[in-house]
Copies of this chain bind each other. A is one copy, B any other.
Amino acid sequence: MGIVVQKYGGSSVADAEGVKRVARRIVEAKKAGNQVVVVVSAMGDTTDDLIDLANQVSPLPPARELDMLLTAGERISMAVLAMAIHDLGHEARSFTGSQAGVITDAEHGRAKIIDVTPGRIQAALAEGAIAIVAGFQGVSQTTKDITTLGRGGSDTTAVALAVALAADVCEIYSDVDGIFTADPRIEPHARKIPRISYEETLEMAAQGAKILHLRCVEYARRYDMPIHVRSSFSEKEGTWVTSADKVAAEDANQEGMTMEAAIITGVAHDRSQAKITIVGVPDKPGEAAAIFRVIADAQINIDMIVQNVSAAATGLTDISFTLPRGEGQTAMTALTRLQDSVGFASLLYDDSVGKVSIVGAGMSSSPGISARFFEALSEAGVNIGMISTSEIRVSVVVAEVQVTDAVRAAHAAFDLGSDEVEAVVYGGTGR
């Protein structure tokens, strides 16, 4: 009898009906002969409502108390879910992150998991019960205070528990059928990817595909825990995220598959970025370092950086980088203060940019991928602003209004589409 960890996001348990539907699904997994551990997020908008409440009493609530407050959300959803399962005639026991043994550091609001000691979960499973665990939360090893894991926390809880319990699989449920070759809202011919490697998933997620959070994929990769991304609204197989070896072996096993795997796995896009260009930077050692030290000190995560070759005549160069749009103002303020000491000419800010990326593990052994990508964009009339690459990814920054054209052009150029149009709603996975 195997152990299955299932994670349900807030949209899957938004109301009593949703909770009952999920409960039936959990009971099915149990009836199929599995030991079932369920990680659940807060119901629907609960977290936002609690944040509103906090803001009503304090403009800047202390992080420890905010964590205490927000963890009430999962406490509610997990208890209600356990009740719904009980109502179907199966025993279910809910556990807080602390009770489930999710031990973290003391960084409230973005705690990292240090250890998982799921003794109480194992005891519940041994007694034949279904264990329901609050996602997103843990307890600090040093202060014994309640912590939250930050964005993507519930997915990370699920993978971490799956690893600690040596589960067969960690199933991540949301309202989409799996990971697609592109966002189906943009590319109606997008196809569900049956199997994808951790590395490709990380690149897709990092490049804006809102499927799984980076953190949970990194955790799964480190311990080689298979993730099955699927919809709580359908019975379809979703997308299996595993090691590249397993993806290749499974692809080879499939009847009718060619011996060569697809070179490109999917197209990701991201409309949440802005671009800052620093014009006329003196091309001498230390200038770039000074600039990016300022950005780093402001706690801003930058993404792509491009520095042009300096013009020989002037000895000046331009440096461009992309960053989350919400942090644009902070970065511009910090850089403006630096203008005199660095002596650059001016700053340009552009928040009408988008990023489009092609991702594929087969890319590194296939020359000409970038060329084919750029040609497709050119044929679609899309102008490229910036380029960056990794072993398994090529990303370009384009005008935001051209993101859709760029995604479709790339999708077609690498034959990613299916003939059918998939009827899916593409969304996030909640926390």
Interface residue A406 (Cβ < 8 Å from any Cβ of B): no
Tell me how far the C-beta of A133 lies from the nearest C-beta in chain B, rounded to whole angstroms.
12
Binary contact readout A48-89 vs B (1 if CB under 8 angstroms, 0 otherwise): 001001101111111011101101110110111011101100
For the complex, is A19 an interface residue (Cβ under 8 Å from B)? Answer: yes
**B residues near A79, Cβ cutoff 8 Å:** 54, 65-66, 68-69, 72
Q: A64-B93, A75-B75 are in contact. Are A59 and B87 (CB under 8 A)?
A: yes
Question: In the complex, which residue of chain B has the Cβ closest to the Cβ of A70?
Answer: B79
CA distance A58 to B76 in the complex (A): 14
Candidates B19, B58, B62, B99; contact of A57 at CB < 8 Å:
B19
Cβ contact within 8 Å between A94 and B76: no
Give the distance in Å from the alpha carbon of A296 to the alpha carbon of B218 in the complex: 59
Asked if A246 is an interface residue, CB under 8 A from chain B, the answer is no
**Which of the residues B71, B84, B87 comes within 8 Å of A75, measured between beta carbons?**
B71
Give the total of A residues in contact with B, Cβ under 8 Å. Answer: 38
Chain B residue contacts of A144, Cβ below 8 A:
99, 120
CB distance from A68 to the nearest CB of B (A): 4
A59: nearest chain-B partner, CB-CB: B87
Q: Which A residues from 181 to 196 make CB contacts under 8 A with B?
A: none
State which of B23, B50, B61, B86 has its C-beta within 8 Å of the C-beta of A65: B86
A20: Cβ under 8 A from any B Cβ: yes
The listed residue (B16, B57, B83) touching A83 by CB distance below 8 A is B57
Number of copies of this chain in the oligomer? 2
Query: A94–B75 Cα gap in the complex (Å)?
Result: 17
Could you say which residues of chain B place their CB within 8 Å of the CB of A93?
Answer: 64-65
User: Which residue from chain B places its CB closest to the CB of A139 in the assembled complex?
Assistant: B99
In the assembled complex, which residues on chain B have CB atoms less than 8 Å from the CB atom of A65? 79-80, 82-83, 86, 92-94
Report chain B residues within 8 Å CB of A69.
75-76, 79-80, 83
Contact indicator A58/B75 (Cβ below 8 Å): no
A59→B75 CA distance, assembly (Å): 20
Supplied contacts A65-B79, A71-B75, 17 more A-B pairs, CB within 8 Å: A16-B53, A20-B57, A23-B57, A57-B84, A57-B87, A58-B84, A61-B86, A62-B86, A64-B93, A65-B94, A68-B75, A68-B78, A68-B79, A72-B72, A72-B73, A72-B76, A120-B144
Q: Which 7 A-B residue pairings sit nearest by Cβ, starting from the closest?
A: A69-B79, A16-B56, A68-B79, A58-B87, A58-B83, A61-B83, A57-B84
11 pairs, A vs B, C-beta closer than 8 Å: A20-B57, A54-B80, A58-B83, A65-B82, A65-B86, A66-B83, A69-B76, A69-B79, A72-B72, A72-B76, A75-B75
